[in-house]
Structure 1
Amino acid sequence: MSESNKDNTTHFGFSEVPVDEKVKRVADVFHSVAGKYDLMNDLMSGGVHRLWKRITIERSGARPGHTILDIAGGTGDLTKKFSRIVGRDGKVILADINDSMLKVGRDKLIDSGTAGNVEYIQANAECLPFADNTFDIITIAFGLRNVTDKDAALKSMHRVLKPGGKLMVLEFSKTNNPVLSKLYDVYSFNILPQMGKLIANDAESYRYLAESIRMHPDQETLKDMMKTAGLVNCHYENMTGGVVALHTGIKP
């Protein structure tokens, strides 16, 4: 289920844009919000994003000596925790397609005293610049919905996982609770852009982020996409009533 179609267009939020234009437009969004990204995450989620990420770490099975890839790692929340777990014999690569986000993440981790077992690489999830069978664990948190060709990205992640390695996709998803869904819509399309304008002086970027969540595949669809990419034992865990879901798959 790639977002692109035979007319060579794809979704940018609720709009249709040429495929080769989406990467630049998504990049512009994250160049704009990078400096306020952590603050906006806390405000947007009431701090709950920290719980979602902690659950992801707990479910990862990361151990000392592991090699881990944190795709769309942004400001490094997962990388920081993984760095402590894998220790000096392990390695964590913080990868992001956006150099502004990568710089913010690198500066934040260096300032926090994160160990020297972290590398920073600008990379496109659709064509990861790593050898086959490299990583024990790959995470992508709140990044897959911004990828133009999700099928290509999932196949690329599968390729660079070691046999037995685990892919974890943490992403906003679909809630089946009608009350929660109504509140979520009001929040996303009315309050969120105003928060973006007030805090980051950028309402449009946060309007796009809200729209991109609605265009992302639902839980079952994403699970099937992971299976199609070659992963097995694929399953998902809903959090906060399905507002967020953690998908997991294993490379056989």
Structure 2
Amino acid sequence: MRKNTTLVLLAILTIGSFSIIPSLANADTQFDRTWARTRGVINRWEDNPAFGNLRADVFVTNNNGTVHEWARVFAMWTNENVEMDDPGITLPLPPKGNFTIQFYTARLTNSTEIRFDLPGYDLYIAGNWTVTNTTTTVTVDEFGHPVSITRTLEPVVTDAHGNFTVANTTTTMHKPLELAIDGIGTLKGFVYMGMIRHIEIKFFDVDGDGKVDIRDLVKTAKRYKAVPGMRGYSLDFDFNGEGMIDIGALTTIAANIEG
């Protein structure tokens, strides 16, 4: 059951990851505002296999030399060694019975430097990170519907220094990413979707129609209380990066609805 549950986590996190070519580009310094969005797959933790995803949203303004930076970066991964023939094509069904899953989450708590022009990199983010080891147990009814969710959160490091980078390379289809955090080690993977541009990116526009509205709130509400291992969970809806789509995700979208 543990292996099947982990397969579900990996498949949900990476579905579609292998068919999208990244489009990160160098920022044009003549503009005062820059937005960036990156989505990636994590497949190594130091020398061991890892399975997970990473999301990063960045906004930087430069007003006559006065720079303001904002970044929201989350990573989620498990270090269990699982077998999967083709995670980009096959999506196993969620488990019918009760299950327990263990995973790690890393969250950027404070960015100290954001660069789009560092030699060798499309994106560089330095700052402080908090990493948590989360164990989630889901109890389901006879129809497979969750009736209770219990989570145990164990802090691993708090406000540890770390760097997130996306390499600027044309030698591979997917650009390499790394997240190195003191006390944790280095996570490695690749970008499957990325952009850097001077036209606003609506970070909470989950349906991709170019605006944050009631439809985004409804789509997120349908995933309420979903956790890894359940089909409704996606890191794109987990705006706090805590391993559950909770009330915080709903209030975040509600606070950003336009008009």
Answer yes or no: same fold by TM over 0.5.
no
Higher helix share: 1
State the TM-score, normalizing by the size of structure 1: 0.26
Normalised by the length of structure 2, the TM-score is 0.26
Higher strand share: 2
